[in-house]
């Protein structure tokens, strides 16, 4: 999760988020180079005294500063497209989780396991334990196995919500009457926090998401415990 003074991206917990971070750094580096170059040129303009009487045109420089930006854009476009299609790839998921956005909480269904379903509300500040995270912890966490491909189906019951987990690189809108799909793969255990990121009403800020990433046998235990109750 994000803590104070964390201005960059969160540490990734999935291969796709790792790729997203690589792309972010790549694009940022290009951005810095452009900013430095343009900044230098603009600064040097202050010292231009306009004394060259014979300077009427410059075919070569015009050619360069037209084609060069196009070439630079190609170096952003192709990695971006690669990532776009990589994010959309579904690799034979072993578990499917359906998350439904409501005003203002999420509810979840494990349709693979005889319809385990529950809703997940934010824990109000005055009911928090001392080790709880304010505005981020929920009463019922999602439990999912690590090192497995997981499919997420997102929809909503009232208005548009967005199911977003920064550490996993997942951000999918839940829209009433539609069923959106995405997938992820958690490569380490832990708690991964997320929030709704579609302005969905007065308590938009108060519908967080918590995923408990556990080893597969723990997950099977959790499932069988919930099947019996």
For residue 214, what are the contacts with CB-CB under 8 A and spacing of at least 6?
A: 143, 144, 145, 146, 189, 222
Helix (H, G, I), strand (E, B) or coil at 33: helix
> Could you say whether residue 136 binds ligand CUA (CB under 6 A)?
no
Measure the CA–CA gap between 30 and 24, rounded to whole angstroms.
10
Binding mask 66-105 for ligand CUA (x = CB under 6 A): -----------------------------------x--x-
Work out the widest C-alpha separation in the chain, in whole angstroms.
90
Residue at token pair 């959309």: 88
Q: Using CB under 6 A, count the residues that bind ligand CUA.
A: 9
Residue 137 binds ligand CUA, judged by CB under 6 A: no
d(CA 59, CA 17): 44
- Which distant-in-sequence residues (6+ apart) come within 8 Å of 165 by Cβ? 171, 184, 192, 193, 194, 209, 211
Q: In the complex, what is the shortest distance from the CB of residue 104 to ligand CUA, in angstroms, rounded to a whole number?
A: 6
Is residue 207 near ligand CUA by the rule CB under 6 A?
A: yes
The minimum distance between CB 157 and ligand CUA, in angstroms, equals 11
What Å distances lie between residue 170 and 12, 88, 173, 191, 223, CA to CA? Answer: 11, 11, 10, 15, 24
- Closest by CA to 101, choosing from 171, 165, 168, 176, is 176
Does 171 contact ligand CUA by CB under 6 A?
A: no
Question: Which one of 165, 196, 210, 211 is in contact with ligand CUA (CB under 6 A)?
Answer: 196
The answer to whether residue 208 forms part of the interface with ligand CUA (CB under 6 A) is: no
Residue with tokens 């960059």: 8
User: Is residue 151 within the footprint of ligand CUA (CB under 6 A)?
Assistant: no
Q: Does 154 bind ligand CUA (CB under 6 A)?
A: no
Least gap, CB of 200 to ligand CUA (angstroms): 3
Which residue lies nearer to ligand CUA by CB, 119 or 147? 119
Q: What minimum distance in Å lies between the beta carbon of 79 and ligand CUA?
A: 30
Where on the chain is the footprint of ligand CUA (CB under 6 A)?
A: 101, 104, 161, 196, 198-200, 204, 207
């Amino acid at each position: 999760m994000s803590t104070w003074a964390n201005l960059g991206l969160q540490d990734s917990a999935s291969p796709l988020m790792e790729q997203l971070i690589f792309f972010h750094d790549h694009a940022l580096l290009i951005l810095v180079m452009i900013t430095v170059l343009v900044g230098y040129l603009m600064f040097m303009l202050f010292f231009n005294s306009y004394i060259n009487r014979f300077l009427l045109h410059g075919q070569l420089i015009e050619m360069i500063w037209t084609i060069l930006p196009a070439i630079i854009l190609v170096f952003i476009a192709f990695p971006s497209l690669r990532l776009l299609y990589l994010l959309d790839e579904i690799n034979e998921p072993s578990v499917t989780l359906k998350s439904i956005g409501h005003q203002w909480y999420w509810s979840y269904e494990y349709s693979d396991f005889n319809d385990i379903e529950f809703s997940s509300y934010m824990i109000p500040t005055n009911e928090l334990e001392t080790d709880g995270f304010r505005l981020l912890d929920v009463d019922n966490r999602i439990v999912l196995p690590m090192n497995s491909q997981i499919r997420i189906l997102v929809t909503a019951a009232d208005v548009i919500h967005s199911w977003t987990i920064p550490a996993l690189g997942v951000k999918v809108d839940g829209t009433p009457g539609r069923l959106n799909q995405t997938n992820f793969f958690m490569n380490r255990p832990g708690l991964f926090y997320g929030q709704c990121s579609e302005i969905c009403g007065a308590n938009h800020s108060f519908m967080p998401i918590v995923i408990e990433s556990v080893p597969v046998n723990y997950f099977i235990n959790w499932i069988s415990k919930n099947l019996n109750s």
